[in-house]
Structure 1
Amino acid sequence: MSDFTLDGQGPVHGQIRRAVAQAILSGRIPPGGRIPPEAELMALFGASRMTVHRAIAQLASEGLVRRNRRAGTIASPEARGRAVFEIWDIGAEIAAAGGTHAHDILYRATRPATAADAAALTVEEGAPLLALTTRHLADGAPVQLEERRIHLAAAPAAAAERFAATPPGRWLLDHIAWTEAEHAILATRTPPRIARWLGMEAGEPALVVERRTWNGEVPVTFARLWHPGGRHRLIGRFTADQGGLPGPRARAQQRG
């Protein structure tokens, strides 16, 4: 029980979800291992039953835990295979490196999906979405530009959220369940519109991560994350999981 530590970021149910997920993905709770009953988690975190139940329900919807009336809640045997980028958050990475994270919203529009939006988000053209461009800074220096599309049918509360205290990606992790994610990583030259916001010269190399998430069959969000190629890298670490299956871990690293 002492392994569970809240990070103080965002709603309590989201903090509990991340604390338990981290214990599963790090192997402290092995595949098939028992998750403490909700009553124990309530006492540990000083949280209400509804708050704890919501956190565990989200873990179940994401496939990280399985719930059984007789056996209780256990870590899903497939959970470690979901570890790539599972808890990767630029703000958390900057804080872990001892830096100070800040963000600003550069563009925001609620509108029907264009043909390009529809292809990126895998929705019908004209579907309601929230388009955002967010810049992330570490100690005042820009390190990531986030171009994001949120499917409002999957996350209607996002339409009213200003993202002043919490950036869009972190807010989605805290409030919207997802069951499947897809990532693509590529290197490309930075176009002028991106270079301007990242303090780069147009044409400089950039590392780009594209991420899509779904909740069941419903698309939730698409994000294109731009990073200065000379100041950013992704590190993947793989360990043997039970049954000989890979258990990947990944993290982002800033290079000054």
Structure 2
Amino acid sequence: MLRKLIEGLTDLLLPHPPVCVLCGVRRKQVASLCPLCRNMIESYRCEPVCKLCGRYLLPYPGAEDIFSDRCPECSSGGSWPFAAARSAGAYEGLLKEAVRQLKYYNARWMVGPLAGLLAELYSGEECFAGAEIIVAVPMTVKKQRQRGYNQAELLAQELGKIIKLPVQSAVVKVIDTPSQVGLSRSEREANLSGVFNLAGSDLRGKKIVVVDDIFTTGSTLAAVARTLTVGGAGEIVGLTLAAGRYK
């Protein structure tokens, strides 16, 4: 509680200067991207992505010339408990560093600008049409107390304000999991087995947007989606700041 009070006073007395949220160059408005970073985000939207999982296909050999709109994993019969997933850009370079700063270094001033990127993506992708609820990927109570915040929840709350959708805590995480870094999809799925529970919201037939910071193998989003499906949810789509490139 004391730490949060000190952080709040620091933000009030020493507000973050108006800079580009990705590269740090000074801007007139905090929520704006510099021209170079804006071009970078726009270039990601021109890249081929898997229609289902949303991972970036380049530099997968022949991705620019393939006729399929799915990555090899999804086109070979791999199934997901969600209808689609999309991200604002690839998990690399400046976007990767921005996600890391938000996630690990208490850079909560980034939430507004980064949620703005999610809102742009939401408005431009057909898969999100008709969504009724936003759900953030949860953390355990213990982990959230240690970190002081859940970056996915902060993004979801800000996104909800922008696109005028309610945010519900429909899922809780009841078991802390070891680090997922470097694990395969099957290893991550085993890691996440039984760690999410429903929180009692009425989800019957509703289309839900699940918000997280990163999509790597898709195991976390899939685990949350399965839990929501048990609760009677209709279509589920994922929305993240960054996604990996198919390898």
Place the TM-score, normalised by the shorter chain, in its bin: under 0.3
Where is the helix percentage greater, Structure 1 or Structure 2? 2
Where is the strand percentage greater, Structure 1 or Structure 2? 1
TM-score (norm 1): 0.24
TM-score (norm 2): 0.25
Higher relative contact order (CA 8 A, sep 6+): 2
Tell me which structure has the larger Cα radius of gyration: 1
